[in-house]
Structure formats: C-alpha cells, structure tokens
Structure 1
Amino acid sequence: MIRDFNNIALYLSLCVLRLWCTTLPGYIHPDEFFQSPEVMGGDVFGYEVFRPWEFEQSPQCRSIVIPALTIGLPFNILKILNVWAIKFGYGDYTVYTIAQLFYPNNAIQSLLVLASSYVVLIFNTRPFSNSAELILLALLFCTYVKGSTPKFPLRRQPGDSSTDRDEFPVNLAFLFGCIAAFGFFTRITFILYAFPIGIAFLHYIFLSARAQGKSWHSKFSELFPACLGLVTTTGICVLADSLYFGTLKVTFGGVILNNDHIFEFLSNPAKFMKIGWHGKFIITPLNNFIYNINSENLSQHGLHPRYLHIYNFVLLFGPLTLLTMKDLNAVWVIFNLVFVVIFGGLHQAGIVPIMQKLQNQSLGFKHCKNINGYFRCELGKKITNPVKNQSEIFTTNILFYKTYMPPHHLLGYPKSWRGTNIQVNIYDLAGSSLSNLGNLLSEQVLSKSSLVDNIWKGHIIFQQNNKNSTNFERTLLVTPSTTELSPLFIESYNEFISIGDHNGNKNLRLKLIEQQWPHINFDHLDRIIAKGMYLNIYLLISFSD
C-alpha cells in the first residue's frame, strides 16, 4: 500500500514536471510549428505566415481537420478569452486503462515509465502531427481493448472462457471507425501503426472463439457500425478539406453561398433544397501518398538513409531498447533528464523567445521624428497601430541565418498591415552559403554608424532609402553566436566589420543589439566555449558615414 502511494505521488510529480516542460523554449524540429500553428495563426489571427508546401501546392497533401481541431480551436478560445490552454495527458488514460486490464498489479509502473519519458515530457507536449497521431493510436487501441473485453468481470481472470464475451458494443465499434478515419487524415503513417489493431479487430469479429457458430450476417452486422463511423468521418474530413482549400464551393441557386443566404434559410427552411455544389472533392492523404512515393519530390525536402529510423528509435527510447525495465532505475532517469534539458531547454531554444524581441523591434516603436533623412523612433513594448496612406513607410528587414525556420505567426504581423506605413520582411536563409548572405546584406539600406553609435540607447533608427525617398528601412540579422562569419567580416568587440563582398563593398558593419540565451544548434559544438550559447540580433550599419 505504501509503495502504491509512493508511486502515485511520483506519477503526480511527473505530471507537474510535464506541465512545466510545456513552457520550455526548446525548438525540436520545424514541423513543431509549421504542421499546424503557423497555418492556424494565419487563419485565426490573420497574421502573415509562411504556409508549408503541403497546404499550398495543388493538389493539397495535408488535411486541415486535425490542425483545426487541435490548434485552431484553442487559438479561437485564446482569441476570445485571451488565455493560454495547455494540451496535456491525453495518452495517460489509455495506457492506464490497458495496463489495468492486462497487468492490474503493475498499472502504476506503466504510467511511471510513460510519464518519466522525455518523449512524453517534451515531444508529446508540442504541436506535432505525430503527437495527435500518437493520441489517436492510443485511443484506437483502448477502444478495441474495451470492446473486446467482457463487461463482467472487468478484468480477465484465470480460467475465463473466451466464449463468455459479449458482442463488440455498437457505440465502441462506431467510435473505432471514427478514430481510424481521423488517424488516417492526421498522418498517412497511421495506417501502418493501426494495421495490427485493425487485424485484431477483424479477427475478433470473424474468427475468434466467441464468433464460432455465428452466421456471416451476424458478423457483418457487428462490423457495420465501425464501417459507418469510418465512412462518415472520412466524408466529413474530405468535405472540410475541399471547402477549406477551395476545390469545392457551396452554391445557392447557382451563386456561391455567402452570409446573406443564412438569413434566407432561417426565414424559409425550404430554401435549403436549392443548395448545390460546384467543383471537386479532394482527398489529402491520397495526394500525400502519391506525392511521397515519387523520390524526385522527396529529394526537394532532403533524403536520409533508411537506417536512420533505427538510430532514432534508440535515441527516442534509449534504455528501453536495451533493458528489461522492472522499475525506474538510474540509467532511465539520467537518460531522460539529459534529453529533457537538451531538447526542452537548449536545442534551438532562442528562436521562440527572440521572436518577441523582434516584434518589439519591428512593431513596437513610437514617437518617430524626421531628422535630416532619417527617422528616430522610441523603442516600446506595445504594438503600434499602423497608419494607411501615410507618406513615410517604415520597413524592417529580418534575415535569419543558420537557424531553424522562424515561425512567422509568433512575430504577430497581421496580413492586413500590408499597404500601411509599417512593413516587415522576413528572409529565411537557413544554411545558405556565406556568399549568399553577403550578397543579400550588400543590397540592404545601411543605417549611418554615427547615428546608431550616438543615439542608439532606447531608440530605433530608420534610414532613408536612396531609391525611394518615402521608404525608411533598417535591417536585422539573426544568427547563432557560433556562426562563422570570418570569411566576410572581421570580428571586433560586439560587432563585425566587412572585409569586402563580390562588388568590393567594404562599408558593412554588424552591430550586436540583442542576445537570447540559451541557444544551441549542435552544428558547431567546438565553438560554444569561445562563443557562448547565444542567438544574436545584429543591426546592419555602415562602416563610415
């Protein structure tokens, strides 16, 4: 009894740790943001975002249903209530339920292994589509186990006859089909993971001992609710995707449906009969499969050896791949603690918090004064409302180099601001060559060094563009402190001085204005001791006026 109490207390402590891990700034992989939050940030908040290829190319390859439910719905709640909602603990219930049915004496140990894994603490608390896939797979397994286990007794007892089981409940069979369809529209890999569960379900319906002597009619009748749930949910997902991506239009009397027609329906429901469809349906998982079986398409996004999955399996589950775990031990605890720190607190951890600083730098200025060809603005923390049709335009160019893809929606630049006096341009250079970086920097408007050096503190300087006298610009470079810039620049205290570009231009200077700690990209671990674990923001200025 005391041991159970200690295990429960340990599990609850791990749940608190999981909640805390959701606040860590670690950036695991671009899919963390660009599979769902980036798209929903544009749709819900109207921000200017970068939509990944799965949602942009024709035909589209990623369903909008799961992103809309898992991210779009919380974003809408946030938009209304202005509070954060945290995704937490969906898989715990299914693991505990299954463990209670098969290993009732060790159910709490199963929860402890789950709750102490860094995969759950870090990866599964992030908005990956893989996280939604895991939850749906667990729910599918739990639904099968509950439906195929006798109601009385709840747990299997030695000597129980399998012929005493009830039929698979209709409501659980329908739910089984619904979950399977949602999983398929979440990721096409769901089919592979769910395949053994589906085979077990069909075996239970048609070939198990309790099905012996039943007519084929009875067996198919038992299967029908699952098929109905599968077909119904698939139809809803196909319809939602087709409407969202615009391949299908709802018409009313031959005209595309709009908000005015809603009042007509309310006043005269008989007019519903005039609703029609124009266009075609789109099946996003099928498009995804067709796209990915073409190796030429995959080469555009980067190919990796197939054995990498074996390496990743060991990296994810560590000692579980090598040991038979009877209890949590030092190896398991140390392994997960190390990777919680690495992926939760260090890996690309500067990107998310630095977006807030960039928002202040590009959208939070105020009280601008025109002084002989440049504007001096005060640096604030509240977003300044833009002004349309103003003669002066303030443009901030932000260059990201040697970082993961920056989530544009975290900058919070509304799409409706295009055409106003506040403009923001983001250039993601990723791992481009230094020559590409140098060429892009040489094309930018340079702030005068004397202005920046003399009146920088608490102010932002916008320099007049010589090609457009009404446009005032500034350029920021965001790159890790470990980035090697020496082929282009000479490093001097907190800044880099250009040694020349392809055009012989030696008038560039990079002045360090902000730093975010910690940030590691693991590309240049040998430089961390000398350069530190920072993500830096540099202001592009002239070497001399």
Structure 2
Amino acid sequence: MTSGVTYWVIKCLQQLDVWSSCINSYTLLVSPRLFFTIFSFILDYSVYRLAPFWEADPWKALVLLAGSHVTLVFYTRTFTNTLEGLLFALLMVLVSSRRSDGSLAEPTSSHLIVIVTVAGFFNRPTFLAFALMPLLYWVGLNIDSQKSIKIVINHFLKLVPCACFTAIFFITADTLYFTSMGLDNLYSVEKNSLFDIIAQLNQKIVVTPLNFLRYNLNPHNLAEHGSHPRVTHFMVNGIMLFGILHILAIGAGFKMLKKCIYILPQVKSYYHGSSRILVHSEGNPILLSFYFVPLAFLSLFSHQEPRFLIPLILPLVLFSTSQNRAIKWKPVIIIFNVLGALLFGCLHQGGLIPCLFHLEQLMHSPESSNHPGHYILLFAHTYMPPRSLLNIKKRDTHIEVIDMAGSEEETLCQTVGQQTNNFTCNDCHFFVIIPGTVRATITKCGVSFKNETLIFPHLSMEDPPQISFLFSENWRSQLGLYILQLDRDQQSL
C-alpha cells in the first residue's frame, strides 16, 4: 500500500517502452516518496478542517505542522506508519462535525468511517489503537437520550456489510499480490468440489493483519529487532519526535487528572451537544485522550521505535495551538525541529540508501551484466533494506539478500562463516553491510575483506557510538556504514 501503486505505474510505463531506460534505484526511491509527499497534504487539509472544531487557529496549526521535522522527514517517506497517520487524520475529520450554529452534529459519513477504519487495520493492525478514541467519540455522538438502544444497534449492524466488503477487498488484493493465485487459478477451481475449493483457498488466502499479529506477538521476533523498556515511547520517543509539545501535553494531562472529578459529570452534557468543555482552562480532555490512549497501547509492546508515534502529531498540533500554548516556546520549537530534521533526515540510518545505490550500480553495471556472478548481501544492525531499491527482478536469482537485523555477535559470525563456506566459486561476491560501531565485531569472526567502503554519515540508534569515540581520530568510522567485500581467497578456504 505504500510503494506498490507507484511501482505498478512504473511497470506499466516500462511495458509501454515509455521511460524504460530511467528505471534505476534513484527513480525507484524518489517516485514513491513524491507520491507520498503529495498525499501528505491530506494532513494539512485535516488540520485546516479540524482546527476550528477544536478551538484552534487554523493557520497557526498549519505553521506548527509544516515546521515539524516529523512532517518534513517521516511524512515524505514510504512508511506504513505514514499511511497510518494519514488514515488517522481522515478518521478524525470524519468523526468531527459541527452545525452552522456551532453545535455538535452527528457524523453522516458512517460508511466512510468504517472503510477508513478497516483500511487502517489492514495497513497496520496498530491503527485500532489510534482509532479507538475517535470511534468511541463517534459512538457517543450516535447515542442520544431520544434514541432507543434498538435503534442504535440497528444503525451499527447496517455497517457490518460495508466492513466485511472492505475486508474482503483487501484480503483478495493481498492474496493475489503475495501468492501465485491468479485468474487462471480461479477458473480452474470451477471443476473441483466445494470442499476442494475451500481447501485451496484456505491454503493460499493471505490475511496480513493476522500475519502481523502472529509475528509481533512473539517476543523472540521482537527481540531480534530490539527490545526496549515499556516507558520508551513516553519518556524518550515522544520527546525525540515532538519535543516541548510532548512535555506540554504531559503537563496538561497531569493537571487534568486532578480535575477529572469535575470533568466527568460534564461528559454527558458534552455528548448531547454542549461544547462548553471542548476548551477547558487546562486543556482539552478529548484531544489529550486522542494522544495518550494510543501512546499507552503502543507502549505495551517491547519493540518501540519513534516512527510508531508519528500519527500522533495531528492531535498534538491541535492541542498545542488551542489557547496559544506553543507561542511562547517558538524559539525552542524552531531549534528543536532543525536538529530533529538533521538527526532523522540525515544521520539516522542515513547511509542505508546510498549503500543500496552503490550496490545496485555495482550489480547492474555493464561489466556485471556481461558476466553475471552470484551476489550475497548480508545486512546487520540496520533497518530492513528495501530490496526494491536494488532493482532486483524475479529472474535475478543470482542475488541473495540476508537481513540479520540486530543479531548477536555469535549468530552474526556463525552466519558469515556458513556463507563463506557455501560459496567457493570465482564469480561469487559476498558483501557484509554493518554500521561502524559494529565493525570490530566482524573482525572477531576470523574473516578478511579485500574492499572496504565507508558511507558517511550513518547513525544507528540501536548501536550508538560512545561519546569518547566521537572525539577521537576515527570519529567518522563511528558515524558511518561499512560495505565489506569478502576476500576471494578467504572464500576458497
């Protein structure tokens, strides 16, 4: 759902002999990012629409959003978290409505709300954590003292077919994409019995949310990507992404908890159309719940990366611009976002994309095309490398990519040793890609390398350099990504 549409367009242009000579790692990188940059204006539209509803100034909210390094860096990248944030923004727009006289109105786009929710769930099941409070808010608007429980239940039951149809659409799309099942397979099952058809579908059907949950609920799988304390999102990632805005929200949240006894009796009147608690002297409880409830749910998982929180920028911007909370912190916000853009836009995993460009040019050079060899690319302690940027086609079986994630030293050396012993041909090329902070680990594996390429800058937050090394002569190596090519003589041993 992130890069697939763009790649499909590129593939069609290539088949039509249009722009076929320009297909390389650069266009494969820029095209999806350009597509997402255009779609990121959904976030701007959502802020502009939602700001008056939540008693915030639209233009101040847009300036705060546009100046955030989260918008500049993450919302122009092809992360599923980015799409999750855009769908979350659309959901907030759909559940927030107001009549011309200023009173709250019941949302009329119920089917769109269901479609967006199901789409978000199939994109990332964690979307339910973000959608929980907006959906409860929407349910509250549908519950009225003049409506009986039966009417309310019937209203929601009418939405079940829409949810099922949307789910079937995504299941079908995923099954066709991830398996070999096509129209020919569908026509061939007509001759089989009903039980045979069900058995075949059961074997090939792909339900991506179930696969996502099955993988991420396994602690061993999460440990391979790195385990973090449960408070990492609250104490570290929130500050790294949002800075003083996160701190202001925490302060307002604590003040609001002290006054929750006085707020709770007003909730009933709030759902019946009164807007007097939309803006409270200490903040907006509904907006804060949109921010902290997803934060709490995501903190239940041991693997916590900053990008998991990027959808929360929308309620945080709306909250910060209501009552002009962020105005007096303007210099701090500007400096913070400049530093954040440098950290996440340039330093953090910054060498991975240039590394893939280098390897793609190496493997698809005219010399390599005339004399193709076997390439093994082993990545360790980096983000999962996007294989699409290597421009690997289905027929390129001579290229193998191994992702070791955050493997321990023993596992890494064992894998390197096994690959070294398995490939003894003269046309075999074995590359190990690791951050500079892990370079010493490879030395302990007992292998030698004939070529070393250092790509600068590159910072791995999972393996950060020690402060003392940054003031030494080899500081560049600590902030770099190494491409190590195994010595051919070593391969033949």
Relative to the length of structure 2, the TM-score reads: 0.65
Query: For the structure 1 residues 335 and 145, does the alpha-carbon distance in structure 2 shift closer, same or farther, using more than 3 Å as the test?
Result: same
CA distance in structure 2 between the aligned counterparts of 1:409 and 1:143, rounded to whole angstroms: 35
Q: 469, 477, 483: which is aligned to 1:537?
A: 483
Q: Contact 2:226–2:406 (CA<8 Å) still a contact in 1?
A: no
Query: For the structure 1 residues 437 and 97, does the alpha-carbon distance in structure 2 shift closer, same or farther, using more than 3 Å as the test?
Result: closer
- In the TM superposition, 1:17-28 aligns within 5 A as none
Cα deviation 1:108-139 (Å, max 9, x = unaligned): 11112222222222122222222111111111
Is 1:511 equivalent to 2:451 in the alignment? Answer: yes
Query: For the structure 1 residues 235 and 80, does the alpha-carbon distance in structure 2 shift closer, same or farther, using more than 3 Å as the test?
Result: closer
Between Structure 1 and Structure 2, the one with more helix by share is 2
CA distance in structure 2 between the aligned counterparts of 1:196 and 1:353, rounded to whole angstroms: 41
Question: Deviation of residue 345 (structure 1)?
Answer: 0.4
- In the TM superposition, 1:15-414 aligns within 5 A as 67=1, 70-81=2-13, 82=19, 84=31, 85-88=34-37, 89-103=41-55, 106-146=57-97, 149-150=98-99, 152-153=100-101, 156=102, 165=105, 168-169=107-108, 172-207=109-144, 212-214=145-147, 219=152, 223=156, 226-246=159-179, 255-256=188-189, 278-280=200-202, 283-286=207-210, 288-289=212-213, 292-293=216-217, 295=219, 298-299=222-223, 302-311=226-235, 312-323=237-248, 324-326=325-327, 329-366=330-367, 384=369, 394-414=373-393
Question: Deviation of residue 343 (structure 1)?
Answer: 1.0
Q: Contact 2:431–2:483 (CA<8 Å) still a contact in 1?
A: yes
CA distance in structure 2 between the aligned counterparts of 1:410 and 1:338, rounded to whole angstroms: 28
Query: For the structure 1 residues 71 and 527, does the alpha-carbon distance in structure 2 shift closer, same or farther, using more than 3 Å as the test?
Result: same
In structure 2, stretches of 5+ residues that fail to align are 14-18, 20-26, 191-196, 249-324
Secondary structure of the residue aligned to 2:36 is coil
Secondary structure of the residue aligned to 1:87 is helix
In structure 1, stretches of 5+ residues that fail to align are 1-66, 258-275, 367-382, 387-392, 447-464, 490-499
Query: For the structure 1 residues 542 and 230, does the alpha-carbon distance in structure 2 shift closer, same or farther, using more than 3 Å as the test?
Result: closer
Q: Contact 1:181–1:230 (CA<8 Å) still a contact in 2?
A: yes
Cα deviation 1:273-307 (Å, max 9, x = unaligned): xxx76523654434544554555665565443212
Question: Deviation of residue 92 (structure 1)?
Answer: 1.2
Query: For the structure 1 residues 231 and 524, does the alpha-carbon distance in structure 2 shift closer, same or farther, using more than 3 Å as the test?
Result: same
Question: Deviation of residue 201 (structure 1)?
Answer: 1.6
Question: Deviation of residue 224 (structure 1)?
Answer: 5.7
CA distance in structure 1 between the aligned counterparts of 2:206 and 2:393, rounded to whole angstroms: 29
Secondary structure of the residue aligned to 1:279 is helix
Query: For the structure 1 residues 321 and 394, does the alpha-carbon distance in structure 2 shift closer, same or farther, using more than 3 Å as the test?
Result: closer
Report the equivalent of 1:524: 465
CA distance in structure 2 between the aligned counterparts of 1:179 and 1:246, rounded to whole angstroms: 25
- Please tell me the residue identity of whatever aligns with 1:279: L
Q: Contact 1:363–1:384 (CA<8 Å) still a contact in 2?
A: yes
Question: Deviation of residue 246 (structure 1)?
Answer: 4.9
Between Structure 1 and Structure 2, the one with more strand by share is 1
Question: Deviation of residue 341 (structure 1)?
Answer: 0.1
- Please tell me the residue identity of whatever aligns with 1:308: T
Q: Contact 1:413–1:424 (CA<8 Å) still a contact in 2?
A: yes
Give the number of aligned pairs: 379
Identical-residue share of aligned pairs (%): 27
Q: Contact 2:381–2:435 (CA<8 Å) still a contact in 1?
A: yes
- Please tell me the residue identity of whatever aligns with 2:36: K
CA distance in structure 2 between the aligned counterparts of 1:305 and 1:253, rounded to whole angstroms: 48
Query: For the structure 1 residues 176 and 290, does the alpha-carbon distance in structure 2 shift closer, same or farther, using more than 3 Å as the test?
Result: same
CA distance in structure 2 between the aligned counterparts of 1:253 and 1:437, rounded to whole angstroms: 43
Relative to the length of structure 1, the TM-score reads: 0.59
Q: Contact 1:175–1:229 (CA<8 Å) still a contact in 2?
A: no
